[in-house]
Every structure is written in structure tokens, then in C-alpha cells.
């Protein structure tokens, strides 16, 4: 069977003695920095259009909070949602991030907690700030999925499509490059959708609606992508043949629908 060769790339970009810089870590750093710069640009434009959400200084300060929320939330989420039984027996490995294992849903919870605490401390309006941050999250999703592809992990289900690949450590059968599907849908497509919507003064005025669109979009795209992605070996298929990623995405969609309903309701009852 003809398949596209997997472009083997060393997961380690630079190695000096025991110190190694991995593409995966670099993706997280780049995502945080690019997201921060993108939010700064949007914040200035929103302020100029009469819908301010944050100052540049506040975004600078939030970068640290977001980093902590992403890393701790992502790792704790992976431990609890995807491999709890293993880490219950090996708790000392729970924070060994260099061995891999991060959960977007856990990272999302971590960032949400960071958002609430940061806005309360700085006395900022939560929903406009959340809308601003949500517009940049797809950047991180795109880079993270590209890093998954480089690592040859989280591969897809077996397939005979012309672009199927044989991944290292995934057996001899060709598989969907599901990491690239997710990078495209959850990253590029969702980034473009939010970019277009945030240009509308009416949409920005409905506080929380952009965050709601992000949650719905990510949840829907993740559910679709999971049909092509191999379930985690330690979990397999769960309720009704669904995967853990699909089950965790349902609450995100419901939360997004609530935010959009809440934004429209506030607009309706506003004097």
C-alpha cells in the first residue's frame, strides 16, 4: 500500500549535556508569547473602537498567570482524566512534565481559574477579558498539535486514505495524521473564525460571546477530530463508543451555548 512517509524529526531541537530543548516545550513557549502579542494588538484596536477589554500592562502581568494555569491545569487534567490509575500507583511521576502528558481540557480549566482570580484581583470585567484571551487560544492549539505530530504521538486510527502515514511506535499500519487535522480545525480554522467575529463592534459588545464561540468551536472540532484519532490505549472507547476527548468536549459546548445565551439576554434586557 502506498502511503506518505512520516517525516521523522528529532523531538529534541538542541541538546547540550543533560540539558535539552524539545520542540514540544518550544511550542508552549511560542504559543504563550505569540498569544500575548496578539492579545496586545487586539486590545489596542478594541480600545480604539470603544470596547476596551484590557491594558497592555494587564496583559503583560496575566502572561505569568496564564503560564501557570496552562502548565498546572494541563498536567493535572491529564493525570485525572487520562491516566489516574497509573499515577495513583506512581504519584512521584505526576509532575514529570518532560515525559509528556498534557490535557487541553485541564489546561482550559487552569486558565479559567487564572482568569477569574486575576480579574478579581485587578478588578477587571471578566467577560471582555475572557473574550480577548479566547481569540488567541487557537494559536496555542495549532502549535501544540504540530508538536504532537513532530513527536509522533497521539496518532490517528488506521486508514487507507492516500495521505495516511506509518507512525513510529504505532505499528506497521498506515494511520490518519489526526494531529494535523486538529491543528487545522482547532487551530487555523477557529483562529480565523474568531478573528472575523471580533472585528464586529456588535459581537464585541455582547460580552462573553467570543468566549462562547471559542468553546463551541473547539468542542465541536475536537469531537469531529476524535473520530479519526486513536483513543488513548489505557482508556479505549468509553460510553457509547465515545472517547474521553469527546466526553470532555460536551461540557465545553454547553458552557459556550450558555455564554452566548447570557450575552444575548443581557443585551435584550439592557435599558
Confidence of residue 99 (pLDDT cuts 50, 70, 90): low
For residues 110-123, give the mean pLDDT: 94
Does residue 125 lie in a domain region? yes
Q: pLDDT of 175-213, one tens digit each? A: 999 999 999 999 999 999 999 999 999 999 999 999 999
Does residue 157 lie in a domain region? yes
Output DSSP code: residue 161.
Answer: S
Distances (CA, A) of 79 to 85, 115, 140, 170, 185: 9, 22, 21, 22, 26
How many domains, the chain?
Answer: 1
Does residue 64 lie in a domain region? yes
pTM score, whole prediction = 0.90
Q: pLDDT of 128-151, one tens digit each? A: 999 999 999 999 999 999 999 988
Q: Which ranges of the chain does DSSP label H, i.e. alpha helix?
A: 23-48, 56-81, 84-89, 104-122, 126-151, 178-182, 190-198, 201-205, 209-226, 244-269
Q: pLDDT of 243-265, one tens digit each? A: 999 999 999 999 999 999 999 88
- Strongest mean pLDDT among 1-5, 15-19, 139-143, 168-172: 139-143
Does residue 9 lie in a domain region? no
Does residue 148 lie in a domain region? yes
Does residue 163 lie in a domain region? yes
pLDDT at 19: 75
Q: pLDDT of 204-258, one tens digit each? A: 999 999 999 999 999 999 999 999 999 988 888 899 899 999 999 999 999 999 9
Distances (CA, A) of 45 to 39, 127, 136, 143: 10, 17, 15, 25
Q: Is 269 a residue whose pLDDT tops 70?
A: no
Full residue range of the structural domain in which residue 225 is found: 20-91+98-269
pLDDT at 270: 45
Does residue 11 lie in a domain region? no
Least trusted range by pLDDT, from 19-23, 75-79, 105-109: 19-23
Does residue 2 lie in a domain region? no
Amino acid at each position: 500500500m502506498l502511503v506518505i512517509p512520516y517525516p521523522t524529526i528529532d523531538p529534541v531541537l538542541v541538546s547540550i549535556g543533560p540539558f535539552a530543548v524539545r520542540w514540544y516545550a518550544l511550542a508552549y513557549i511560542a504559543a504563550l508569547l505569540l498569544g500575548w502579542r496578539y492579545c496586545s494588538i487586539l486590545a489596542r484596536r478594541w480600545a480604539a473602537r470603544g470596547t476596551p477589554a484590557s491594558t497592555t500592562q494587564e496583559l503583560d502581568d496575566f502572561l505569568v498567570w496564564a503560564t501557570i494555569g496552562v502548565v498546572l491545569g494541563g498536567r493535572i487534567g491529564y493525570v485525572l482524566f487520562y491516566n489516574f490509575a497509573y499515577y495513583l500507583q506512581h504519584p512521584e511521576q505526576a509532575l514529570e512534565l518532560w515525559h509528556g502528558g498534557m490535557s487541553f481540557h485541564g489546561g482550559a480549566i487552569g486558565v479559567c481559574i487564572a482568569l477569574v482570580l486575576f480579574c478579581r484581583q485587578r478588578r477587571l470585567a471578566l467577560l471582555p477579558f475572557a473574550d480577548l484571551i479566547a481569540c488567541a487560544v487557537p494559536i496555542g492549539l495549532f502549535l501544540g498539535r504540530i508538536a504532537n505530530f513532530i513527536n509522533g504521538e497521539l496518532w490517528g486510527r488506521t486508514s487507507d486514505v492516500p495521505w495516511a502515514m506509518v507512525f513510529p511506535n504505532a505499528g506497521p499500519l498506515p494511520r490518519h495524521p489526526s494531529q494535523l487535522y486538529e491543528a487545522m480545525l482547532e487551530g487555523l480554522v477557529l483562529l480565523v473564525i474568531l478573528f472575523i467575529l471580533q472585528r464586529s463592534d456588535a459581537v464585541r459588545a455582547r460580552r462573553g460571546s467570543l468566549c462562547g464561540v471559542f468553546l463551541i468551536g473547539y468542542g465541536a472540532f475536537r469531537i469531529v477530530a476524535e473520530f479519526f484519532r486513536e483513543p488513548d490505549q489505557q482508556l479505549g472507547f468509553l460510553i457509547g463508543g465515545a472517547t474521553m476527548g469527546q466526553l470532555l468536549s460536551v461540557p465545553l459546548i454547553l458552557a459556550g451555548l450558555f455564554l452566548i445565551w447570557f450575552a444575548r439576554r443581557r443585551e435584550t434586557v439592557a435599558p
